[in-house]
Amino acid sequence: MEEQHNKNAQLFFGIISSLGSQAWMQLGKIKNPMTDKIERDIPGATITIDMISMLKDKTEGNLSEEEKSFIDHTIKDLQMNYIVEKEKKDVARLHAMIELFETDLCLAKSLSAYFGEELDYNCQRCSVCIEKEPVKLLSSDLPSLDMLDFHDLVQQLTDIAESPLPVALVTRFLCGIPSPRLFEYKARQMASFSRLEAYPYKTVEKWVQLHNK
């Protein structure tokens, strides 16, 4: 009886740890040991975290102090990280949307492309078609980027990333748009991450192209 009890306790820790590792992998916090790559799968993480919560509910009143504390902590840590990851994804989507409206392509055309349709003519009615200028969002009162020292801003990134830095990577870094590579570099902890988030993506991109040598 005692022996069976110990065995069950071990199996319980085993299954919670194993589901926990799976969820950390799906959150993109650890590499998949099979592929040695970060493979983020946020919807999958939701299901795995739900499974652990289900096990907690189904075993309620039947766990030792230690088992209960282990499963509680596992769920709490995972849920907190889930919220952070989901937020990052939402911000990235928002940036993609803003980026879209700042192109110098016809807005009707860009919008159709965003929703997976193809418009093969310019509408001739949107502000881009009429004024031949990208739409300006949020950015009219910002100081000129020429006041800033490019090399100073990207120094920390230059120290660890390949050279020359890819323009898209630096632009994302300065605009604060997460990417797997920036995650790998722990770029969010760098002082200049998202320093230029108030500027249009296209403006920052042009500025980076000009200075990134």
* Interface residues toward Zn ion, by CB under 5 A: 106, 108, 122-123, 126, 129
| CA 156/CA 106 separation, integer angstroms | 37
Nearer to Zn ion, 68 or 202 (CB): 202
Nearer to Zn ion, 97 or 119 (CB): 119
- Residue 115: CB minimum distance to Zn ion, A: 16
For CA atoms 101, 106, 107, 108, the dihedral sign is: negative
Distances (CA, A) of 212 to 109, 164, 194, 205, 209: 31, 8, 17, 10, 6
- Residue 119: CB minimum distance to Zn ion, A: 9
- Residue 206: CB minimum distance to Zn ion, A: 22
Nearer to Zn ion, 78 or 106 (CB): 106
Do the beta carbons of residue 83 and residue 94 sit within 8 Å?
A: no
- Residue 138: CB minimum distance to Zn ion, A: 21
Residue number, nearest CB to Zn ion: 106
Angle at 74 between CA 68 and CA 76, to 5 degrees: 100
- Residue 94: CB minimum distance to Zn ion, A: 23
Peptide bond into 180 cis (omega under 30): no
- Residue 77's nearest CA partner among 38, 125, 30 is 30
Structure tokens at 115: 């929703």
